[in-house]
């Protein structure tokens, strides 16, 4: 692994921890313990992986990334840094195991998705990728402590494929979810499904955790301007805990 790739990985992790996703990381740091099993679903370039590996030392980090080139680079940098408790799976996660089309926009921006609507780019590549349901991947005795989910519109499928895990082990959920990526359905459907399982949610707004009861989609996910999702008042990151 070239030194520059390793340096970029470390810088990316530092920016995520102390700037871009500070609030999410603070929650994870409080609740994840050494020996835990945690999942980074939609790991992309690995912004969360370094910290998850450190905080669940003695446990396991499973990083799912369906884009083959990203998965290979992430696996290589983990080997270079001797993050031995990290397993990188070049797979997507959804409701059922098998294979599905992954839509990859040119330049990998804003992100690849199993949902065509979520890919807003006019130019994209379609790849057939292996897909796994978490309830199939893990045995019943595996106690999962965290699901970090960033899957560009496939959130409900990921959760449905982990229903046994959610009911039995009640992992912390840190997920991105927004109406612009969902079709059919909307964020309310995802929230309602989790609330039916006994989860309660918060959303992140200006680096603060606010109760989900204060979330108003027409306000907090208002589509105003060309780069509306980059506004500080645009909220698409959520935390759910059981009980």
> Residue 124: which region, alpha, beta or left (left: phi > 0; alpha: psi -120 to 50)?
beta
pLDDT (0 to 100) of residue 123: 76
Q: Which residue has the tokens 């309602």?
A: 192
| Per-residue pLDDT tens digits of the chain, which is 243 residues long | 678 999 999 999 999 999 999 999 999 999 999 999 999 999 999 999 999 999 999 999 999 999 999 999 999 999 999 999 999 999 999 999 999 999 998 865 557 888 876 666 567 889 999 999 999 999 999 999 999 999 999 999 999 999 999 999 999 999 999 998 886 789 999 999 999 999 999 999 999 999 999 999 999 999 888 788 888 889 999 999 998
Pairing status of strand 98-105 against strand 37-41: unpaired
Other Cβ atoms less than 10 A from the Cβ of 195: the count is 13
Count CB neighbours of 2 within 10 A.
10
In this structure, are residues 65 and 89 in contact, taking their beta carbons and an 8 Å threshold? yes
Q: How many CB atoms lie within 10 A of CB 3?
A: 8
Mind giving me the DSSP string for 193-206?
HHHHTTEEEEEEET
Task: Calculate the alpha carbon distances from 52 to 48, 55, 56 in Å.
Answer: 6, 5, 6
Phi-psi region of 170 (alpha: psi -120 to 50; beta: other; left: phi over 0): left
Decide if 91 contacts 137 (C-beta within 8 A): no
pTM over 0.75: yes
Range of the domain at 173: 3-242
Indicate which CATH number applies to the domain containing 51: 3.40.50.150
How many domains in the chain? 1
């Amino acid at each position: 692994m070239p030194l520059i790739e390793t340096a970029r990985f470390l810088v990316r992790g530092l920016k995520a921890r102390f700037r871009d996703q500070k609030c999410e990381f603070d929650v994870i740091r409080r609740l994840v313990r050494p020996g835990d099993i945690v999942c980074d679903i939609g790991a992309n370039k690995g912004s969360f992986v370094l910290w998850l590996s450190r905080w669940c030392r003695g446990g396991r980090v499973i990083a799912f990334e369906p884009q083959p080139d990203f998965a290979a680079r992430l696996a290589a940098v983990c080997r270079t840094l001797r993050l031995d408790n990290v397993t990188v799976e070049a797979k997507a996660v959804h409701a059922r195991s098998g294979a599905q089309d992954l839509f990859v926009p040119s330049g990998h921006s804003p992100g690849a998705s199993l949902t065509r609507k979520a890919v807003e780019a006019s130019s994209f590549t379609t790849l057939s990728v292996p897909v796994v349901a978490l309830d199939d991947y893990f045995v019943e005795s595996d106690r999962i402590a965290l699901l970090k989910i960033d899957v560009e519109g496939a959130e409900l499928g990921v959760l449905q494929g982990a229903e046994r895990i959610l009911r039995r082990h009640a992992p912390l959920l840190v997920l991105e979810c927004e109406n612009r990526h969902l079709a059919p359905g909307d964020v309310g459907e995802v929230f309602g499904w989790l609330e039916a399982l006994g989860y309660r949610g918060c959303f992140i707004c200006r680096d603060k955790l606010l109760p989900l009861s204060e979330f108003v989609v027409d306000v907090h996910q208002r589509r105003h301007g060309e780069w509306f999702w980059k506004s500080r008042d645009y909220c698409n990151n959520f935390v759910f805990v059981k009980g």
